Structure 1
Amino acid sequence: MRAVSLVPSLSEAVARTAPGVLVGVTDWCTHPAALDAVRVGGTKNPRVELIASLAPDLVIANEEENRAPDLQALRAAGAEVLVTEVRDVPQAFRELARVLDACGVRARPRWLDEAEETWAALPVPDDRLRAVVPIWRRPWMVLGRDTFAGDVLARLGVTPVHADHPDRYPRVPLEELRECGAELVVLPDEPYRFTADDGPEAFPGLPCALVSGRHLTWYGPSLGEAPRVLGRALRAARR
């Protein structure tokens, strides 16, 4: 089996479970650190000819992270493309199992079982905080409806203020974000790299939780530790 992954979190899942299967990954596939595969460009601008030259049995993609024209070009070049959709935590586990099965993994990996058990054991939050969750600035963009990261936060007791917005990642003027009634701001370090000096200053008077973007937005082995890592950051911001 030879596979190319255009999704960083799925690259990590395949590399951990089926070493040697991945022959190509994106420039953003940073885990595991020693991942040995050809770099085929970005998630939004993969090098189709290079991918085709690797003669993969499968190209792994995602309907949100990858562009439809690129996937169509890969199919036209003769590649089989598996497109995942991940909008919540349960769907992440189903899609992970589907990807690993397509990569020839016959036994369900222990890390996947343990991650699913961790999420299933979480108590239902007895109180919830309303939060603004930016993912970009210049312009400001936030989590809207029907997102994986929004579901992750909801299961940890944080409801994105814009969870009912018509758009999944709406652009919202900063003044509106400041006046939306949020009790918390959640600032991940990807896709935009928010830091203590780049983000919190825009929301004077509101507690800000700086969180790991990998644990908030990736659906792979990081799911197993995401509740602990994110929960610690959220609790620290609320003190």
Structure 2
Amino acid sequence: MRVVSLVPSLTEAVAVSAPGLLVGATDWCGHPADLDVVRIGGTKNPDVEAILRLRPDLVVANEEENREPDLAALRQAGLTVMVTVVRDLPGALAELERVLVDGCGLGARPAWLDAAREAWDAVRPEAPRRKAVVPVWRRPWMVLGRDTFAGDLLARLGVDHLHAGHPERYPRVPLDELRASGADLVVLPDEPYRFTADDGPEAFPGLPAALVSGRHLTWYGPSLAEAPRVLRAALR
């Protein structure tokens, strides 16, 4: 079977679970570090012709990360495209099983997927719960809003983000409003915007800042098995 992945987390999931199936991935697919496949452009601007030349049996994508016109072009060319929809942890685990077992033809769930389920089943939220703002971009400032996978993971760890009830999933919010939100901390992932110790915390003077791994907060794949431990350590 030949698989092309348009999503970094799905690339890692397929590469770890079924080595040899992947023939193409995006320029942003950095895990596993030694992945040796044809690069077919970005998640938002894949090279459709390059994908067609790879003659994949399956293209895996995500409704949030990839653009519908690109996916429609692939379908129109006769390719099978499996699109994941992820809003929370249970949905992520179910979609991973669908991609790997139903889509890629694995005979059973990979061991890491069971390990991820067990790791999160064992999580008990820390008390007292904390309130956070969670920027995902700056210039302009954008934060986690409603129905996000990252927001669900944080909630399971005892951190409630203050824009969970916003009508948009990734709203633009002025910095002054974020500063005045009454948050206990600001959570700054290193993707999609790469917040660092020198780029992000200074915008929230007096507010504790937690720099967290975007791969563990926003990716649904093998990183989920260690995400509770990694995220909890960063949030302390």
Answer yes or no: same fold by TM over 0.5: yes
1:141 deviates by 0.2
Q: How do 1:178-193 and structure 2 match up within 5 A?
A: 178-193=179-194
Match of 1:98 in 2: 98
TM-score with structure 1 length normalisation? 0.97
Q: Aligned partner of 1:178: which letter?
A: R
TM-score with structure 2 length normalisation? 0.98
Q: How do 1:196-211 and structure 2 match up within 5 A?
A: 196-211=197-212
Q: After the TM superposition, which parts of structure 1 deviate over 2 Å for at least 4 consecutive aligned residues?
A: 124-127
Q: Aligned partner of 1:158: which letter?
A: V
Match of 2:156 in 1: 155
Match of 1:119 in 2: 120
Match of 1:229 in 2: 230
Q: Distance in 1 between matches of 2:133 and 2:176?
A: 12
1:127 deviates by 2.3
Q: Distance in 2 between matches of 1:68 and 1:61?
A: 10
1:124 deviates by 4.1
Q: Distance in 2 between matches of 1:128 and 1:25?
A: 39
Match of 2:12 in 1: 12
Could you tell me which runs of 5 or more consecutive residues in structure 2 were left unpaired when the two chains were aligned: none
What is the percentage of aligned positions where both structures have the same residue? 74
Match of 2:31 in 1: 31
> Residues 172-212 of structure 1: CA distance to partner in whole angstroms, max 9, x if unpaired?
00000000111100000010000001000000010000000
Q: Distance in 1 between matches of 2:216 and 2:43?
A: 19
RMSD: 0.7
Match of 1:66 in 2: 66
Q: Distance in 1 between matches of 2:116 and 2:35?
A: 22
1:126 deviates by 3.5
Q: Distance in 2 between matches of 1:56 and 1:135?
A: 33
Q: Distance in 2 between matches of 1:215 and 1:133?
A: 14
Tell me the secondary structure at the aligned position of residue 198 of structure 1.
Answer: coil
